[in-house]
Amino acid sequence: MKSTPTMKDIADELGITVMSVSKALSGKEGVSEDLRKKIFAKAEEIGYKKGSSFKEATRNIGILVTEKALNASPSLMSIQQSLISQLFQVDYYGLTEIISDEAEHLMLEPKLVKDRKIDAFIILGQMEDSYLKMLKNIKLPFISMTFIFDDETDGSILCDNLYFGENITQYLFDKGYKSIGFIGNRLFSTTIMDRFLGYHKALIKNGAKLNEDFVIPNVNEYGEEIGLFLPDDLPEAFVCTDCRVAYKLIHQLEGMDYVIPEDFSIVAFDDGIYGDFGIPKITTYSIDYDEMAQMAAESIVVKLQDPRVKLGKKILYGKVIERESVIEKK
């Protein structure tokens, strides 16, 4: 039996993106009038009908993020703000709900879902597996951001954190550093684990051994900040899991009468507000979170308009932003 035509079938037939099909069929800007006519003609030709398994009621999209994820990853707040802006651009409203540690532990359904305030939701940042399974069983369209939900669930917007970790660590090796530490709790989330694995990969490629004394956690298992317990024998440079951690490390080292970057070079991820907040300004691996939010907003709208569409996993890349926290090793 032939399957029901989807927007992806139209896109494949015309050699365009699903998002272009979605914009044309919903009367949005972003496609030429000529292409819009071709899309409507193809839709009629193959017998496409807009998915009707879910009826929009609110034009609200939930943004679900846990309290502990926000505490541990300041960048999630920036992504959340961009998401609200990008959803507004596609005529939807983003409503954020912060899932408390208690709610996550007790498996309490998000209030936005319980009160029927949203048509779909975006999971921002990692959560406990049991809570994610509960969310998966809610009969609403959803996608995930910054992590892979599971191998079966469709629709994830990701960063290639393993590559990021390798790239920024290699940057330090290329500057002449041989002894490099990592600041971050690799067991807290897949994002930090992947960055750590990229860091470790760069060590292996450059013939350097992993020194566990140089792997220093910044948060506990609940995402709460803890002190940075530095070893007596310090590395020459540090890779920090985000700019806030790098900022904290710089101040701790300066309190020990060290000078950055003359005594230690420091790099970080995410290019957040702390990146150019202090002195020295921090060299970071920057990710375009506005682009990430745009991809997520467009993807969840496609899911709403046609739940049968398979979005797959979309990967976002970034680049090193050089500032003042790294110098060539003498």
Q: Which residues contact 75 (CB under 8 A, 6 or more apart)?
A: 242, 270, 272, 287, 289
Q: Which residue has the tokens 């932003």?
A: 321
Average pLDDT, the chain: 90
pLDDT digits 0-9 by tens, 37-46:
888 898 888 8
pLDDT tens track for 130-183: 999 999 999 899 999 987 766 666 788 989 999 999 999 999 999 999 999 999
* pLDDT value of position 56: 55
Residues 330 and 250: their CA atoms lie apart, in Å, by: 20
Provide the whole-model pTM: 0.83
What is the per-residue pLDDT for 53? 42
Angle between helices 18-25 and 289-305 (to 10 degrees): 60
- Identify whether the C-beta of residue 91 lies closer than 8 Å to the C-beta of residue 59: yes
Per-residue pLDDT of 224-265, as tens digits, reads: 899 999 999 999 999 999 999 999 999 999 999 999 999 999
DSSP secondary structure of 217-252:
-SB-TTS-B------SS--SEEEESSHHHHHHHHHH
Q: Quick one: which of 234, 323, 330 has its CA closest to 280?
A: 323
